[in-house]
Structure 1
Amino acid sequence: MADDVTPATRWVASSALTRYRLAPNPGPMSLDGTNSYVIARPGSTSVVVVDPGPLDDKHLAELAATGRVELVILTHHHVDHTEAAEEFHRMTGAPVRARDAALCLSADPLDDGERIDAAGVRIEVLATPGHTADSVSLLLPDDGEHGSVLTGDTILGRGTTVLAFPDGRLGDYLDSLRRLEALGPATVLPAHGPVLPDLSAIARAYAAHRGERLDQVRAALERLGPDAAVADVTDAVYTDIDPSVRRAAETSVAAQLDYLRGWA
């Protein structure tokens, strides 16, 4: 499904059971901005909001106006997803749930494999660590022919995600990609970038990309020596990197070095 953002409202109809509002926080890491999802069965007077995003009055007011907010879910702790959580909780009274108990408001942490029934929709919680330790994805098995998955930052609509090492780790991430691949051709509802078809194919492509990067890091270590510094390996692997994403590249390289050295 094409992501045609209505300029006046920034809303996108993303699937049969979801839509999102594009938050006004574009940047090198957030792409066009954070996709703040609203989940509800058609005709439902209540909604679930996922990742309310930045503290922006208009953005939050638009989300709150979609219906009675029954629940707020955070896919992980990064500020572009969570900054507005406390204010949105104050505005709506809705409980806020996340994998990390420190982010929860008037609610318990999310459990891996938990089923949530809210706004007329069945939501299944999948722990998908790797981008961060607390990352979750949300499976909506009844959303269209193959279901859909809100992937947070585990899979993006454009490009590939950063491993926020040491919180995020490559071994966990590869396990998460295998778990997502097993879900088949579900629609991908990412927290940044456009909606994508066929989760299984995209998860395989992401895993292949990580394998290629690992090969590049191995080759760099052969040239630079096994104890090469993160910065030097980053220079060797990312030869023409934009300074705005240099730090992100270094954290991903650090995660790959940790993974390789753990197997050495």
Structure 2
Amino acid sequence: MGVPVHSSALTRVVLAPNPGPMTLDGTNSYLIGAADSPSVVVVDPGPDDPGHLRSLANAGPVELILITHRHRDHTAGSAELARLTGAPVRAFDPAFCIDGDPLTDEEEISAAGVRISVVATPGHTADSVCFVLAADGAGSILTGDTILGRGTTVIAAPDGDLADYLDSLATLRRLGSLAVLPAHGPGLPDLAGICDNYLAHRRQRLDEVRAALERLGADATTSAVTDLVYADIDPAVRFAAEHSVEAQLAYLRTTDGLD
């Protein structure tokens, strides 16, 4: 069961007005800061929505803007928020940095009275990162789209990679039972437990794809495999299911020698 996304001691959430099949209730833009800090760090400014960006800019002096990954529902408002606040934007991909250096794996950032640890978690996208707040109660982690508050994330080929994603889940699992603060949906109480659930789900899906290929033949199309594996999928997110099937097929070509 999810817990309120605003329950973290060191974070607040400003929910962006961009709900949808892929964004759930909308993008959770996080404000990070110690209670005695006059400034805040913004994680994932979200869409280029004037009202949303004003809310972020007015939350306190914005010291730094961080990006979990490149998708527009996280980054479209970055440039305007940087203009409004003068704060630098840092992301793993240099293309999304503004007056700031690219993030690096295992980097420690000190800002707004808080220490933020960067964990590279490629898979959903090649540039995905998570941010650990060790001093946030018993510890929390901002997971972007690597872990969602509801459902599971899409591995979108060719930028997404299932082998990388499985490795990233294993990396996150080793961090223990941190509170999960996702970019979409409610917070979750136990990072390690959620990673176990995600890994089990991925193994099940891979078995379903293998079974579909046995029925259809190794040269089956992505569309045909999707019809079998995701038979009850909402048409609004059919494209996401096909992306996931493409990623699973690419993974199986390597692990099972489908070629």
Question: Is the shorter-chain TM-score for this pair beyond 0.5, marking a shared fold?
Answer: yes
Query: Paired residue for 1:209?
Result: 201
Q: Tell me, yes or no, if structure 1 residue 157 matches structure 2 residue 149.
A: yes
Task: Indicate which of 63, 70, 85 corresponds to 1:70.
Answer: 63
The CA distance in 1 between the partners of 2:165 and 2:3, in whole Å, is: 28
- Give TM-score scaled by structure 2 length: 0.97
Q: Which portions of structure 1, spanning 4 or more consecutive aligned residues, are displaced by more than 2 angstroms?
A: none
Query: Paired residue for 1:250?
Result: 242
Query: Paired residue for 1:194?
Result: 186
- Give TM-score scaled by structure 1 length: 0.95
1:97 partner amino acid: R
Q: Tell me, yes or no, if structure 1 residue 14 matches structure 2 residue 7.
A: yes
Query: Paired residue for 2:137?
Result: 144
Contact in 2 for aligned 1:14/1:189 (Cα 8 Å): no
Contact in 1 for aligned 2:45/2:74 (Cα 8 Å): yes
1:175 partner amino acid: D
Contact in 2 for aligned 1:168/1:255 (Cα 8 Å): yes
The CA distance in 2 between the partners of 1:197 and 1:241, in whole Å, is: 28
Post-superposition Cα deviations, 1:34-79, rounded to whole Å, max 9, x if no partner, equal 0000000012101000001011111111111111111000100000
Q: What is the aligned residue count?
A: 255
Post-superposition Cα deviations, 1:1-39, rounded to whole Å, max 9, x if no partner, equal 742xxxxxxxx6230100111100000000000000000
Helix, strand or coil: the match of 1:70? strand
Post-superposition Cα deviations, 1:223-257, rounded to whole Å, max 9, x if no partner, equal 01111111110001011111110000000000000
Query: Paired residue for 1:173?
Result: 165
Q: Tell me, yes or no, if structure 1 residue 241 matches structure 2 residue 230.
A: no
The CA distance in 2 between the partners of 1:13 and 1:125, in whole Å, is: 21
The CA distance in 2 between the partners of 1:57 and 1:108, in whole Å, is: 26
The CA distance in 1 between the partners of 2:3 and 2:198, in whole Å, is: 21
Contact in 1 for aligned 2:118/2:131 (Cα 8 Å): yes
Contact in 2 for aligned 1:140/1:149 (Cα 8 Å): yes
Post-superposition Cα deviations, 1:127-147, rounded to whole Å, max 9, x if no partner, equal 0010000000001111112x1
2:122 partner amino acid: P
Identical positions, percent? 65
Q: Tell me, yes or no, if structure 1 residue 219 matches structure 2 residue 218.
A: no
Q: Tell me, yes or no, if structure 1 residue 129 matches structure 2 residue 126.
A: no
1:108 partner amino acid: D
Unaligned runs of 5+ in 1: 4-11
Query: Paired residue for 2:221?
Result: 229
The CA distance in 1 between the partners of 2:7 and 2:200, in whole Å, is: 27
The CA distance in 1 between the partners of 2:103 and 2:67, in whole Å, is: 10
For the aligned residue pairs, the C-alpha RMSD in angstroms reads 0.9
